[in-house]
Amino acid sequence: MNDYLRINQANWNARVPIHVASDFYDVAGFQAGRCSLRAFELEEVGDVAGRSLAHLQCHFGLDTLSWARLGAEVTGLDFSGAAVEQAGAIAADCGIPARFVAADVYDAPEALGGTYDIVYTGLGALVWLPDLDRWARTVAALLNPGGFLYLAEFHPFADLLDDETGTRVVHDYFDRDPQVWTLPYTYTGGDVLEHQTSVEFRHGLGDIVTAIAAAGLRVEFLHEHDHTLFRRFDTMTDEEERGTYRMPAGQPRRPLMFSLRASAGQDAIPITGRWRG
């Protein structure tokens, strides 16, 4: 597991050209003006005009650049050099001002060399990190006083369930052993990956919230959402809104994503939690 970073970098460098060409990311649609952010993210983050924003684990930057189109001064960071190169090319093609840096997320304070009003981390990021406490301290070091972390992630509850129907508990929620996968394809489909092995790390919701609180950030809200962005279970139905999937009508709803906001400094409000449709 000491080699997880090299293994994952090779895997994600191999994914980049496949993802850029995929319908899943729809780069052409983004270049034509589509916003890649989800509606609940826009509502919960609020107005970003004139604010500095660092996007950690930004992949090839569509979400980063969507925040820039909304007026933020953005910097994206990713450990994949291939992703950062593509992000810069898309930004230049669209005429969007942005800075992208290739570095491990744990090295972000030194690599970025500044602090920010907002640190944003998008979906599917935390599973690649073995040490949440170190990650949360990294985020805290990047924030200006009064700034905030905004995290949107897939809910760990969904990983307990069977892939076919999502109705049976088949995995141990408290299993924290690293997961080593060797898969020929990435989640967007397309060509066979050159580097097929990856290492993932499971974290419970309590692990995430506790790490953020221990880093000195104050959680403002934790919202749980009953939809996700892909067909997580075979029986899920898609909706008119692009990339929105829910369980079939009549089935009990499950938490499939969550979003969290946590502030630096003394002006934050106490934690609240609720379900969000």
Short-list 142, 126, 14, CA closest to 81: 14
Distance (Å, rounded) from C-alpha 41 to C-alpha 34? 15
Short-list 157, 135, 126, 122, CA closest to 217: 135
Q: Could you tell me the pLDDT band of residue 164, with boundaries at 50, 70 and 90?
A: confident
Q: Could you tell me the pLDDT band of residue 240, with boundaries at 50, 70 and 90?
A: low
87 backbone φψ class: left, alpha, beta (φ>0; ψ -120 to 50)? alpha
Q: Could you tell me the pLDDT band of residue 270, with boundaries at 50, 70 and 90?
A: very low
Distance (Å, rounded) from C-alpha 147 to C-alpha 145? 5
What letters, b where the CB count within 10 A reaches 16 and e where it falls short, cover 52-67? bbbbbbbbbbbbbbbb
Q: Which two tokens stand for residue 195?
A: 């580097």
* pLDDT confidence of residue 241: 62
Span 43-97, pLDDT tens digits: 999 999 999 999 999 999 999 999 999 999 999 999 999 999 999 999 999 999 9
Distance (Å, rounded) from C-alpha 129 to C-alpha 263? 21
* Cβ count near 238 (within 10 Å): 13
Q: Which two tokens stand for residue 275?
A: 């379900």
Q: Residue 171 pLDDT > 80, yes or no?
A: yes
Cβ–Cβ < 8 Å for 155, 257: yes
Span 99-115, pLDDT tens digits: 999 999 999 999 999 99
CATH topology for the 4-276 domain: Rossmann fold (3.40.50)
Distance (Å, rounded) from C-alpha 15 to C-alpha 187? 9
46 backbone φψ class: left, alpha, beta (φ>0; ψ -120 to 50)? left
* pLDDT confidence of residue 1: 59
Span 174-196, pLDDT tens digits: 999 999 999 999 989 899 899 99
Q: Which residue has the tokens 């990435």?
A: 186
Short-list 91, 90, 82, CA closest to 15: 82
